[in-house]
Structure 1
């Protein structure tokens, strides 16, 4: 440990270090830079033995007698990084200071660390505009500045980082548009939850739409910008002009002609659909419905509302869909559908609409609420937006049917991924993936809790946790519990329900914490939580006998993060204590998961650092 006496003895050297005329940088200069950094950011409890080489210090890695990586995530660093520290680590290839409380600006002499490949600064308190010093680090491959307080615009100078493969800027206070960045190697990009507007540059159209949520951007993977010509029309115009020179009037004529053709096609399709709908509605149980029913029987599928037709005048109610809804109730009724599962509160269907849209329709049962009360409860959920919560898109209420329409999650549920099902094999999820899932779910629950002192999810379990195309974890079924009638037959269904809840309809925030603790136990042990309390008792018994590693999933034991796994196991036990008042809040849970030192965004960081050494930093 770095002792106070050692710091006092070397204080003068450290203070003068940036101004000393030195020779060729070596390990001693790296040592001085590291100690100056630790003194400045107020953390002296790291396990750094002053008599040993810096290469043996916690979080420090060396090659050829120089420091090449510094990894100090979630160790309580605070304050501003001074000049004469990081910039003097001239051989540094990888730097991770994420999940600390560092603030202010980055030091301008960071240009001295010109060999940096990987820079992780997310979830600190850095402020002001994104510092220009970063644009001089032309060897950067991965840059993560998410979760800070950076302001101003996204500089076009990012184009200087031609080797950049990952750029994460989400959850800052950035404004303006995205410049036309020419970064040929960029594959991972995120600017969600900033005050950005304008159109997405064409070079970023390959990035998933989830990278732009929480902004006012448009175009590309998002909805079209106002007055924007569709990519199909733009492509047709370009094709028409290839190989010849056309006047402005000729190009305008082509565009107008194409638009006219498209409009005529839409009018024709609308006419055909209206005639088809009129024919179906006019047939009272006759031949008009038979082809549709016969087609569904041939497919072995049924529509989510096929058993009972909707009441006259009823319609789908959407939540803030820009430009109007993409489909209506009749589209849902005509959609081919397959059963995804029958749960505690109803049956879920995957519905493939004729226009290509895929949604999940949950058909609720045992709903006794009047329409006004139902609408009030559902709207609280529908207008809640968070990157780790499955979005409720619309609902339908009638005397005979209550439907909820959600975004479709193509990667499936966590239950299917970890345990497998009749049609899929078990997926051996890595440690990094599992703790990333845990952190994402915790953030989703905390967001729900933050909306009201009494707000809770009430049905947290593996089958309600999903992954989307970009492998973002999302929690589903938020707010369903208060909609249904309590039933004694459900008391044994969920192994995730807190022991103090005798009534399946009663929910609380502390009960959510218990359910999340069972999710953690299931992630760590690989065992299904059919009986949550039994799983907890098994783990508790093995921990009492000091068999802590024996309870872990065999897939996890093949990896090298056992100490961190045991820490997460202890957190799971704290979440599932029988006394609700003794359980931590979800904010405390998030802080503890982050303190373990892993992040959903940087799953490959440790491997990257190992590769730095293996490739001799070339």
Structure 2
């Protein structure tokens, strides 16, 4: 589950944007570059926190980092450095990092580094720079950001920078977050107008002048602590004229202007009264009475009137405004609440990038670690329906469900917040252990996971009877495992709020055979997904069904059938599955359940209640006689008229 670690003030909304293709670089060269950088740190006593940065060991093994603080991409390149809370001191030189062309993120937050800002101009491809909570000082050159056109996040909070804020920030067209709070910056705020901006914090400096109009929609707390700032969103009006201009204005001219203005106002009032009197006279002469002040309104007008009655003059509901501009809405009871700004300041680590968007871990400064999933294809319903559905999910409580903690609503994108589960997903346990120290998953553990998944799925069917597919996206990467390897379902019940076209392309339930025939899932589509999951657990093979757009076919189930249809040979089961002694018969029974749940014909496919009943009867062990009897029964049931060439299976591990 290792991924891009990007501590950031935007930890939630935009870490995914830093994941772009990077040039290939030999791992040995990455190691050489980082060792040179370590030498530079050692001059200030800063390499004590990097004992595993040694020659002969690669920084990355695929996406898995082997050196402390290194961020790796899928190709094994060094994508970033996260050297936080390591007591680094002295001046920071990043010259050695020029030879890392894949480098996109640098974080040195919460150290004791000092001196001027590092020469980041030598890293033009940099996307994120985090230097907050250090002792950097001095003025920043006005043109320092001129060539850093890819920058999205700049975090310089809690240092001792002085002088004016560099105007070259205005040219960063991709800028998302700018954190300059708790420094000694002075002068005006540059005219930042980038439509991409999500957060600008300049609080607690000595800035002056009017806040740029492009930032007026942000929270007032982001500008507090600057005595001479004025304009929205602060409640401090800006003086329209300066003292020098007032001295140049003649008192006589002021009097003339006032007299002319009063004259114009009186003339306008007189014209209005004259027109009203003339209209009344015409109505009296024609015998037509003035219209009543109370008029009948049609339904569409009534809707508009109702909206106006609950909305402020800006035309938006106050609660809607709060959500639109960064309010987290908590739906889980008994949890420690926090603000979106707390989340934005947290460090973030990408856990995965799926078809819906990014999932990443955010570690709050004071509080738990949480997982944030960002969705950009969740516009199937309006705000009120979305809120109601999220509240419904927040009320769900079951030992095998990962509860929804909070959500963030914007028309363009949504965020769903849940607890962080350190053990990761079932997919990682089954397929991501290559090169790791994790032991093979034994049969009792796999049986325990199947039972937990079945119970969680049954609970969803019971509590959400209005949904055709209460889960909709059941797959091994959406089954998390707690400390005792008890399964927790996630990604459930999102079909009602996902765009239908997108759902049909990527959600697992839409890959069931009935979707290929009728174009829509059935009540048993989740059962089909569950059957594929059971076969994945037993065989250890990754289903190709998860990887394809649209219909995925029945590859895994068909492969199992082709292996065991004549006689059971044992080759179908995962060879790494330990603890199978005296349990083969039960494994065969579960294999039969998996095939019954993944039956192509919906009418022949088992329903969830039957599957749950059969699964609950399974045991870890049984006698040899029971095993022989079960093997014969399974072999007979799996005898089908098909050739070995009809189906093929791709592991895609």
State TM-score, norm by structure 1: 0.45
Specify which structure has the bigger relative contact order, considering alpha-carbon pairs within 8 angstroms and separated by 6 or more residues. Answer: 2
Work out which of the two has the higher radius of gyration on C-alpha atoms and give 1 or 2: 2
State TM-score, norm by structure 2: 0.43
